[in-house]
Amino acid sequence: MHTFVYAKWQAKEAIFRRNPKKRSRRGSGDFTKNKHIGRVGSSSGLGMDLSVVDAYQAWENRQKLEAIEKALADVETTLEKVMPLIFRKA
């Protein structure tokens, strides 16, 4: 028996469009909070799906951008404290 590990996106709000299912209950509404990405790995030797590699790269890029935005906000806050008159004129 083999095990498989899958990745998914998860959001705070329901932003992903639901896929219609032929059988079973699909939930209420047209949107969901989770979206299946693909296989991360398995005990059978199957590797990671390319869609998962792309998703992980996008996630890493987003984290880097958020860190840069936070650093810029910290620099602006520090400059406002050090040079308040220059920031008030602009």
Dump pLDDT digits (tens) for 9-46: 888 888 777 776 665 665 667 788 888 888 888 888 88
Q: What is the pTM of this model?
A: 0.60
Q: d(Cα 43, Cα 5) in Å, to the nearest integer?
A: 9
Please state, in angstroms and rounded to a whole number, the distance separating the CA atoms of residues 63 and 60: 5
pLDDT at 28: 66
Please name the amino acid found at residue 21: K
Q: Give the three-state DSSP class for 72.
A: helix
Please check the confidence at residue 8 and state whether its pLDDT lies above 60. Answer: yes
Predicted confidence at residue 30, as pLDDT, reads 78
How sure is the predictor about 88, in pLDDT bands with cuts at 50, 70 and 90?
low
Residues 6+ apart with CB under 8 A from 81: none
Domain ranges of the chain: 4-89
